[in-house]
Structure 1
Amino acid sequence: MTLGLIGLLLAINQTFALKLFGFYPLGNAFLYYLIGIFLAVALLCFPARTADARRLPWYDWLLAIAALGCAIYLGVNGLRMTQEGWEYFAPREATLVAALTLLLVLEGVRRCGGWAIFAVALVFGLYPLYAGQMPGFLWSNPFALDETIRAHVMGAESIIGVPMQVVANLIIGFVVFGIALTVTGGGEFFMNFATALMGRSRGGPAKVAVISSAFMGSLSGSAVSNILTTGTITIPAMKRSGYSAEYAAAVEACSSTGGTLMPPVMGAVAFIMASFLGVSYATVMVAALLPAILFYLALLLQVDNHAARQGLKGMRPEEIPRVFDTLKSGWPYLLSLAVLIHMLLVMRLESHAPYYATLVLLAISLFRRRQRLSVGKGLGFMYRLAHNIGNLVAILAGIGLVVGGLSYTGVAGSFSRELLLYADGSIPLMLVAGAVTSFVLGMGMTVSACYIFLSILLAPALVGAGLDPLGSHLFILYWGMLSYITPPVALAAITAAGVAGAGNTRTSLHAVRLGGVLFVLPFLFVLNPALILQGPLDRVLLSSLTAITAIWLVASAMEGYLYRVGSIGRLTRVILLLPAGLLIYPEWRSDMVGLALLALCYLAHRGAWRRPAAARPRDRLAGQVEGR
């Protein structure tokens, strides 16, 4: 916690240029100090092996001290490093310190990210050593070992490259704000608010899970932590209402996965995306808003159709708080979010906004007993802050090795050119290749790591094929994220299954079916930039309408239930996918044909509507839908 507090003060001092005690390091020195502090935290918080989970061995202390010592040496020599070009020629002791730093970074990424990310960081980090033996476009002039070490540690494109700069300048503040909201009771407020809004409706507990996970996921940016917080409440509530354990776990897994995409506080990957694209975070936040709404609308439609088909009811009245009472108790959280959004969108103070929003929240909480930050809550706040940032720094420093290895050899640009050549200008082929690649890599990597890797290799090819840059990057992010609910890894589904006491495989399969609509969504906005709010207002509104219709049809086909018709057979479910596909394609003629086919589907069931109610028991559910 002490190291976390020092790291936080260092970040605040740099962000606001406070120059506390006359200390205001250069940019590279600041990054080295920050890496040293939080890498030491990661080495102390995350055990080297399972046997060390309940104890802190002596060698963890030794590694943490070594991380701090290396950071201090590199930071003190930051100006000299820049002036004398240590990236190319450095004193012998500096090269040895750089080598030790590199080993510590690799150990940190192994502990925090697992063996898969460690292997990726190692293979691509060492790529400059064997690039001269690679064939074709993968070839590059090789580096010597000492050259590779200096480039990674003292160069500006590896461990202190864009990912780490984003953590230092932006992400720490948003982590502070998200934890402050949670520690002061924001999680309980958003859960109650979601319950007040959706609890009475058909299948209410599942809808509460979707809405509350959207709120909480946007603050934590982590699917797993979201499941372990909101899921412990929503999953038992769904099971009590008649949902199977597997379905309840699947709902929570899908809902928590989408939190990474939900403004205003998105996951770390959104800030990295803004830096790679050279745009403000507010631009990414606005572009991600409509896709995130469509994401959660798709889930709501799915669970509503499922509830209608199964005849599930809402929550009991005594379990549902009043909306007014909920807002009355939780207005400080909404006010702090409003301050954050105003400073992001209007004042454009991205690095300062989360700190000011946190101050507003903590100042108000001083006068409210239930939300006041006590000593215990304060210690918990600092522990979670140190733990979360330590995890981020360790992983992103390791991923920085991937960025550096591909950048220094120039292979990233060559890969994109070759992919464009093989696709021969076919955008559908490019998108399918991008989706498969993102999905496969997402199985073994965090969302941030997967996105960073593909933003270097794949995104330039998609943009070169004529697709919108922001839409292309969001496309990669979505597909990398969907591996959280898809076998064989399905990390979010497995975590939710553990909370629900359900089987891992069945939960993963339920999540795939429930999230089937989500696999369509990335193609919607990458082919139609209006869905990321680019273009005239009328085009945005029309595209939104057709996208919502397409999502509704896919949800109906997946769950076997169509509004005003009731349960539908397999043939109708397959037929519904045709107008859905036509509405996905951004062209008015395909939209008209899709709507005409949808009308024909309804006309085909008009005989069923005209039959007496007693003769068609399936349609009693449809009557319930109409009544609601």
Structure 2
Amino acid sequence: MSETPTKTALPPRPHPPQRLKGAARIAVSVLGVIGLTGIVLQTFNLPVLGIFPLLSNRYYYSIVALFLAASFLLIPARTQDGDPAVSPLDWGLAALALGSGGYLAYHAESIITQGWDVVAPLTAAIISTVMVVLALESLRRSSGSLLLAICAFFAAYPLFADYMPGFLWGPSLSLQETAAAHVMGMESLIGIPLRVVADTLVGFIIFGAVLNTVGGARFFMELSTALMGRRRGGSAKVAILSSALFGSLSGSVISNVLSTGRMTISAMKKSGYPPRYAGAVEACASTGGTLMPPVMGAVAFIMASFLDMPYTTIIVAAIVPSALYYFALLLQVDLFAARNGLAATQDQDIPLVSAVVREGWHHLISLAALVVLLFVISPARAAYYATALMLVFSLLRYRRLPDLSAARGLVEGVTKDISYLIATLCGVGLVVGSLAITGVGGAFSRELVQYGGQSTLLLLVLGAITSFVLGMGMTVSACYIFLATVLAPALVKLGLSPIGSHLFVLYWGMLSYITPPVALASIAASQIAGAKGMATGFTSMRLGAALFILPFVFVYEPALLLQSSDVLATVLAIGSAISALVALSCALEGYFYKVGVITYLERGIIGCGAVGLMVPDRMAEAAGLAMVATGVALALTRGKRAPA
């Protein structure tokens, strides 16, 4: 039995993309270093040479200039030919982004004091038009043509808003006025999405990158293996736990699948899980990571800004729903193992928990420090302090810091992550800006309420369908931003909890990652598993069934979001949800603890009972409990009990 993990050295950073060579690699590194230095100085209000801290809009224009320029060097115009070298067009667009953003940053004070967002000089209007085009092109490169078409339509909406019927009508603007409002106003190009990245999110991106550089991802995998490796269905439970831990810090579904999945899927297949099931487990676990505190990805920070509430409130509200989701996943893989006779592994190479913790204690302290700091100081600064602590602990543990090559790779990786975000959110911001400029966003919300006929359930169903459909063609951030503007206010007007309404939109927008026909996470996992994409997608739907139901539960039951002051009500709500998930998991997997394999009739009865247990009404819960008991009684009358 191994008592210590075999590796103690710092892991190497991956090589940069082949596209980044020579001058392009140097340029991206320089842009990244300047941008990151500026962000740190601005975050901590450090006076340097009389330049920092910058005027707010000057700061945002500087960030756009630097990272939008980097995005054109990092992201090719076409990906059909693999990863082509940086072309003269890429250099030209990067220079144009740097120059245009620099012009806006230089004139930032005039933009505010002279109202250029309403009446702009001709040069500023031309620069604004160029910036809109650059934002849309960067969006196309980072997120594809479908999202480009949606955002381009909304970006141009003020040009023809007075031709639209009914609640879609709005005042029209000229091309010059539209471009100026988009670029020099505070609600579009440099609106909430981009400001969240510049003000708060960069610190967390740096924290995640440093954690990975000093071996955090490997540590969480080893810790998950030590905790779950010897249990029944241990390989699948390791996949779920490691993806939850890694995803909660990375906030990226696909990178989670591609990083942890290469190890976990292979282990699950060796343990006896079918390839499609192994891929589905990893896809569902990685998808849930974005919903798991403490970091949760960019969307959680954007949500805090939309709701105008502390980020820690979002963290607290997300704890129980995300824990319930992972609880349901763990139940299902355990039940699958029980039904199919997959015994617990006796692998002698699985390390002891104490040995893993002794080896990687500094990672746990760094993570704990981040969580504590989030509640003590501002999230924007908390991530930087936690990163500094992590570097100190790594120095104590390894007696050295990452070398120059690792540091350069770290800067390149962080610059790439920020550039992709800026490239996406500049374009998505145009949607929010158009809805604000024309006033259509508020009118759309009012129309939704009227169309729903004051029926909360009908509006939730319509919202769920809309979120799911938009999630197919948009990034999670883009889908959430759009629906947080038009749908969430309508749900709040019907009396639902604001934070519950926004989480509802987020959860349903995430479902496209595991649901055919798109199912990006499922397809990525299926390629690693060697399974069919659609088969993996449909298996993911079954495994992720809790993700379909939980949003309807917590939006009606604020106690599950820890929003109730009644402790007893909160305990009862959580207990009822746990009971419902146990019953639902047993119905989905066709196996009930201490009973054994159950028939389709019994599964149907128990499944209906599980849904009843989730309804926040005592009569419905009693009826659900009775149905579950009936299904179990029918199963027991058929014969001998199972051992587990």
Do Structure 1 and Structure 2 share a fold, with TM-score over 0.5? yes
Alpha-carbon separation, structure 1, partners of 2:258 and 2:406: 19
- Partner residue, 1:205: 235
1:319 aligns to what SS in structure 2?
Answer: coil
Q: How does 1:188-587 map to 2 (within 5 A)?
A: 188-345=218-375, 347-369=376-398, 372-535=401-564, 536-587=566-617
Alpha-carbon separation, structure 1, partners of 2:355 and 2:400: 16
For residue 175 of structure 1, report the CA deviation from its aligned partner.
0.5
Q: Please say if 1:164 is aligned against 2:194.
A: yes
Alpha-carbon separation, structure 1, partners of 2:471 and 2:349: 38
User: Is the CA contact 1:580–1:594 (under 8 Å) kept in the aligned structure 2?
Assistant: yes
- Partner residue, 1:110: 140
For residue 245 of structure 1, report the CA deviation from its aligned partner.
1.2
For residue 589 of structure 1, report the CA deviation from its aligned partner.
2.4
Q: Please say if 1:66 is aligned against 2:113.
A: no
Unpaired segments of 5 or more residues in structure 1?
none
For residue 596 of structure 1, report the CA deviation from its aligned partner.
2.7
Alpha-carbon separation, structure 2, partners of 1:374 and 1:482: 40
Q: Which segment drifts farther, 593-602 or 172-181? A: 593-602
Alpha-carbon separation, structure 2, partners of 1:562 and 1:239: 24
Alpha-carbon separation, structure 1, partners of 2:51 and 2:173: 37
User: Is the CA contact 1:490–1:508 (under 8 Å) kept in the aligned structure 2?
Assistant: yes
Q: Which segment drifts farther, 149-158 or 570-579? A: 570-579
User: Is the CA contact 1:3–1:41 (under 8 Å) kept in the aligned structure 2?
Assistant: yes
CA deviations 1:263-304 (Å, max 9, x no partner) are: 111110000000000001000011011111011111111111
One-letter amino acid of the structure 2 residue matched with residue 585 of structure 1: V
For residue 222 of structure 1, report the CA deviation from its aligned partner.
0.6
CA deviations 1:576-618 (Å, max 9, x no partner) are: 122212111112222222223322333333334xx5xxxx5xx
CA deviations 1:135-156 (Å, max 9, x no partner) are: 1110111111111000000001
Alpha-carbon separation, structure 1, partners of 2:608 and 2:87: 60
Q: Please say if 1:127 is aligned against 2:157.
A: yes
Alpha-carbon separation, structure 2, partners of 1:453 and 1:603: 48
User: Is the CA contact 2:603–2:631 (under 8 Å) kept in the aligned structure 1?
Assistant: no
Alpha-carbon separation, structure 1, partners of 2:224 and 2:74: 34
User: Is the CA contact 1:207–1:300 (under 8 Å) kept in the aligned structure 2?
Assistant: yes
Alpha-carbon separation, structure 1, partners of 2:333 and 2:320: 20
Alpha-carbon separation, structure 1, partners of 2:632 and 2:274: 31
CA deviations 1:323-356 (Å, max 9, x no partner) are: 00111111111111111111112x1321100000
User: Is the CA contact 2:224–2:241 (under 8 Å) kept in the aligned structure 1?
Assistant: yes
1:31 aligns to what SS in structure 2?
Answer: helix
User: Is the CA contact 1:205–1:314 (under 8 Å) kept in the aligned structure 2?
Assistant: no
Q: Which segment drifts farther, 578-587 or 281-290? A: 578-587
For residue 52 of structure 1, report the CA deviation from its aligned partner.
6.8
- Partner residue, 2:42: 14
Alpha-carbon separation, structure 1, partners of 2:423 and 2:417: 10
1:143 aligns to what SS in structure 2?
Answer: coil
Q: Do the aligned partners of residues 242 and 395 (structure 1) sit closer, same or farther apart at CA in structure 2, a change above 3 Å counting?
A: same
User: Is the CA contact 1:362–1:373 (under 8 Å) kept in the aligned structure 2?
Assistant: no
One-letter amino acid of the structure 1 residue matched with residue 517 of structure 2: P
One-letter amino acid of the structure 1 residue matched with residue 477 of structure 2: S
- Partner residue, 2:626: 596
User: Is the CA contact 1:513–1:558 (under 8 Å) kept in the aligned structure 2?
Assistant: yes
User: Is the CA contact 2:602–2:632 (under 8 Å) kept in the aligned structure 1?
Assistant: no
**Going by fraction, where is helix more abundant, 1 or 2?**
1
For residue 369 of structure 1, report the CA deviation from its aligned partner.
2.6
User: Is the CA contact 1:306–1:559 (under 8 Å) kept in the aligned structure 2?
Assistant: yes
Q: Percent identity?
A: 50
For residue 20 of structure 1, report the CA deviation from its aligned partner.
2.2
CA RMSD of aligned residues (A): 1.2
User: Is the CA contact 1:185–1:371 (under 8 Å) kept in the aligned structure 2?
Assistant: no
For residue 371 of structure 1, report the CA deviation from its aligned partner.
7.6
